[in-house]
Structure 1
Amino acid sequence: MKNRVVTISREFGSGGRTIGRELAVKLGIPCYDEEVIEKLAERSGYSKEYIKERGEYAPAATWIGSALAGRDRNGYSVADSLWRVQSELIQELAEQSPCVIVGRCADYLLRDRADILTVFIHASMEFRAKRIVEVYGQREDSPEKRLRDKDKRRRAYYQLYTDTRWGEAANYHIALDSGVLGIGKCVEILADLYRNGKEN
């Protein structure tokens, strides 16, 4: 069988990154998350900090605001350039070997592959607010405000570059509530789906 790839899309604070990493360890395959940022920095010449912020998040909270932001007279932006490099890189990673790819619109970029499992991880505001304080520490803004801002900008970025609704269950093979199921159970479910799919 061809390489099998799992893409993890997630609400901010839902634990999607952790689920992706733990799933990759359980399956014995690479997980691309921070590694994508490093590779993008090498190829694009942009700093890792810039890519971390702009590789998944729109500059404005709406897709239309983001579509108009920072464009030159030819209609191109730095974000467009980064998107092209990111798209090529994710396609290459999927071709190299079985892997887990966290975020970066990988579910959309690899949508035509027959060997992909697309996942969306979500959770309640209460669960995510508690988790981001535990993981990232307390900030000046309230946890809820941080979550709303991150999700809005992630949604706007996704819609801008994919013309598809981020987080809509119909756009993924499976959506899991990490607050109800727990991180470990989400990993177990996805590992079972991956293994069963590989046997078919």
Structure 2
Amino acid sequence: MGKRIITISREFGSGGRFIGMEVAQKLGVKYYDKEMIGQIAEQSGFSPKYIQENAELSPKKGLFAYAFSGRDQMGRSVEDMIYEAQRKIILDIAEREECVIIGRNADFILKDRDDVLNVFIHGNMPEKVKRICGLYNVTEQEAIKMTEDIDKRRMSNYRFYTDQKWGMASNYTLSLNSSVLGYEMCERIIMECGGR
């Protein structure tokens, strides 16, 4: 059976977002990444700017600090409310249409469906640093710091909400090194494994 939905988790700087965009375009399906921000903001009641900065990343670097962030009377943190809104939107999208979804723990949220291809894109540090320097106009040292910080926050968010290890191959159908394979080969493998 072909996969209707492709989720792409990725290391910062690995090109996962670009690969996902290309796959969606070539398959003629919807692409969801920042496009979900408005919907998440509407459902959660938080501003789109806040969602953009916090929906996929833990606000604290450590899991312990993350677990004890401010809570409402029902014990939910701001992050919990955003995550729940995001989860509902991802489930709704998956019911509605074929698509590519970038990040946002979509692989875990859709784990019970058999029509999902879960992909993790990673890369070698020199290539990721070069890409980040070019995209964000930063020094190599700044690029390394950005990579470490963003990936650490993604890892904390994923672990907190899924109780799984982010990037562990067993959590995904495919784990692809974009530095070794190149973007076009990653795209071809994803499309072929999606049964299209």
Q: Same fold per TM (> 0.5)?
A: yes
Give deviations 1:117-158, integer Å, cap 9, x for gaps.
000000011111111111122169611111001011110000
Equivalent runs, 1:40-79 vs 2, <5 Å = 40-72=40-72, 74-79=74-79
Tell me what 1:119 maps to: 119
Describe the shift of the 1:2–1:122 C-alpha distance in structure 2 as closer, same or farther (beyond 3 A): closer
Structure 2 gaps, min length 5: none
Matched, 1:133 2:128: no
Counterpart for residue 153 of structure 1:
153
**1:21 paired residue number:** 21
**Corresponding residue for residue 33 of structure 2:** 33
TM-score by length of 1: 0.92
**Structure 1 residues 3, 171: closer, same or farther in 2, change over 3 A?**
closer
Give SS of 2:112's match.
coil
Seen in structure 2, the aligned counterparts of structure 1 residues 140 and 195 have a Cα distance that, compared at 3 Å, is closer
Which is further off, 42-51 or 110-119?
Answer: 42-51
Q: Given that residues 10 and 120 in structure 1 are in contact (C-alpha distance below 8 angstroms), is that contact kept between their aligned partners in structure 2? A: yes
Question: In 2, Cα distance between the equivalents of 1:132 and 1:2?
Answer: 34
Q: 1:142 to 1:93 in 2, by over 3 A?
A: same
Q: Distance in 1 between matches of 2:3 and 2:129?
A: 36
Shift of 1:25: 0.5
SS at match of 2:195: helix
**SS of 1:12's equivalent?**
coil
- Root-mean-square deviation (CA), in Å? 1.7
Moved over 6 A (4+): none
Instruction: Write the letter of the residue equivalent to 2:90.
Output: I
Tell me the distance in 2 between the aligned counterparts of 1:140 and 1:185. 27
Alpha-carbon separation, structure 1, partners of 2:12 and 2:116: 23
What letter corresponds to residue 117 of structure 2 in structure 1?
L
TM-score normalised by structure 2 residue count: 0.94
| 2-structure distance, mates of 1:139, 1:47 | 31
Paired-residue identity, %? 46
Q: Gaps (5+ residues) in structure 1?
A: none
